[in-house]
Chains A and B, each alone.
Chain A
């Protein structure tokens, strides 16, 4: 069974204080690893897809990286508007279309 574990559960940072969120996964053949941002009461917002170990993608203050066992979401010089829950999900090979999500990291950026 596919599993995704995210850490830490919650993270409080000062504005401008860079850090990383971790996503560890086990999957029967990885088709893709996905990062989403979710604000309270809203649906997840797509950020990145990573397909193979060594791949990196960037968007504004966010950079996602992938190894064979985990992914990191690096946040550089965050701003209060980056406060949200960040969700990681995996999609397996062999015809599966579903995403298996972790429980997320709740990020709070303090001005």
Chain B
């Protein structure tokens, strides 16, 4: 399967812990995006990479959030000192042109 993959699919953590998610985009897609989705809402944009450069960041991306794409391939999203409000589905998408293709998401639950 050559779609976008994300790992882990589910993560349960205690408040105050750090978590890291990984996204592997479709090969040859130079653009990579992170979104967050809560129940009953549409995805909300967090950040965007073109190759290894982080070009856009949402105001939703507080100082506790950091994303990297070190070699322009896979990306990681880290949340430090998690809070209960961080509980959500974290979605990764990739594109070569305009169409963004999404992965299955990582469901984060902060207890």
- Report A's interface with B, CB cutoff 8 A: 4, 31-32, 34, 36, 41-46, 49, 87, 89, 91, 96-104
Output the least CB separation between B85 and chain A (Å).
19
Contact-size category for B: 20 to 34
- Using CB atoms, name the residue of chain A closest to B41: A103
A4 to chain B: closest residue by CB:
B42
Do B104 and A42 touch (CB < 8 A)?
Answer: yes
Chain A residues with CB under 8 Å of B48's CB are 97-98
B74 contacts A by Cβ under 8 Å: no
- Do A32 and B98 touch across chains, with their CB atoms under 8 A apart? yes
Contact of B45 among A49, A100, A103 (CB under 8 A): A100
Which B residues are in CB contact (< 8 Å) with A89?
A: 42-43
Q: List 23 A-B contacts (CB under 8 A).
A: A4-B42, A32-B98, A36-B102, A42-B105, A43-B103, A43-B105, A44-B43, A46-B99, A46-B100, A46-B101, A49-B99, A87-B42, A87-B43, A97-B33, A97-B48, A97-B50, A97-B55, A99-B33, A100-B45, A101-B42, A103-B41, A103-B42, A104-B42
